[in-house]
Amino acid sequence: MSTATDNHASQTLPARPKELAMHFDNLHQQFHSGKLGMWLFLGQELLFFCGLFTAYAVYRGNHQDLFHYCHWFLDWKLGAVNTVVLLVSSLTAAWSVRCAQLEQRTGLLITLALTFICAGAFMVVKYFEYTHKLHIGATWGGSFSVATEDLPAQLLERYPDMTGEKLKTMGAGTFFAIYFCMTGLHGIHVLVGMGIYIWLFIRALKGHFNRRYYGAVDNVALYWHIVDIIWIFLFPMLYLIG
C-alpha cells in the first residue's frame, strides 16, 4: 500500500486493458458486476410484469365465461408463429454471445442482425393482430363494440345466439384491457430490445468486442431471453386457455 502513491492507480499497474473502467481491478470483476446488475434488472422486470399477471388472474377468476368467449378473438396460429419467431431470436441471441466469446466477427454481426430481424417480424405480426382488433372494435373498457357478424366463427359455432351487444354488457372490454396492456407492454420491451440490438450491431461493426470483453452482448441476450420468456407465458394464457 505504500507504493500506491499516485492519484491514478491505473498508472501503477502494467498493461491495464483499455476497456477496463477506472474503478475496477480487472475485467473479470467488471464483467461480473455488469452481469449481476443485469440479473437484478431482470428480477425487477419480472415484478414489473407481475402486476399485470395478478390483474389477469383476478379478472379471469371474476369473469371466467368472458375470458372463455373472448379468447376466440385471438388467432392462435398467429400467436404460434410469433412464438416460433421469438424462440428463434433467442437462439440467435445466445449464438451471438458465443460468437463474441470466440471473436467470430462475421458470425457476431449475422446473429445480431438475425435477432433484430426476428424481433421486427414479431412486431409486424403484432401490428396485423392489433389493427384487425381495432378495425372490428374489439377494444378496451367501454369502447368495446363488435358487430355480431364480426364475432369469431368458433365462438358463433358453439354459441349461436351470442351477439356483440351481449359481450359488451358482460364486460368484454375488461378482457381486451388486459390483453392490450399485457401484449402492449411486452411489445414495448421488444421495441426497446430492437433499439439495443442496433446499438450492439454498431459496436460490433466497430470491433469493440473480444473474448475478454463481451459483457454487453451477454447482458442484452439475457434481457432478450426474459422478453422471450414473458411471451411464452402470455401466449397460452391469452390465446390458448379457453
Longest alpha-carbon distance in the chain? 88
Minimum Å gap between C-beta 74 and other proteins is: 17
Instruction: Please report, for the chain, how many H helices and E strands are present, in that order.
Output: 9, 0
The one-letter amino acid code at 70 reads C
> Which among 222, 199, 214, 201 is positioned nearest to 101, based on CA atoms?
214
Residue ranges in contact with other proteins by CB under 8 A: 1-2, 4-5, 7-9, 21-24, 29, 32-34, 36-37, 40-41, 43-45, 47-52, 54-55, 58, 140-143, 171, 173-174, 177-178, 180-181, 185
Q: Give 13's Cβ-side CA count (13 Å radius).
A: 14
Minimum Å gap between C-beta 93 and other proteins is: 22
The one-letter amino acid code at 117 reads I
Nearer to other proteins, 177 or 217 (CB): 177
Nearer to other proteins, 58 or 80 (CB): 58
Minimum Å gap between C-beta 163 and other proteins is: 19
Nearer to other proteins, 10 or 154 (CB): 10
Nearer to other proteins, 29 or 154 (CB): 29
CA pair distance 196, 139, nearest whole angstrom: 31
Minimum Å gap between C-beta 192 and other proteins is: 13
CA pair distance 238, 152, nearest whole angstrom: 15
CA pair distance 143, 134, nearest whole angstrom: 10
Minimum Å gap between C-beta 59 and other proteins is: 8
CA pair distance 72, 63, nearest whole angstrom: 15
Nearer to other proteins, 116 or 144 (CB): 144
> Which among 201, 189, 219 is positioned nearest to 94, based on CA atoms?
219
Nearer to other proteins, 24 or 233 (CB): 24
Minimum Å gap between C-beta 35 and other proteins is: 9
CA pair distance 237, 144, nearest whole angstrom: 21
The pair phi, psi for residue 145, each rounded to 5°, is: -155, 95
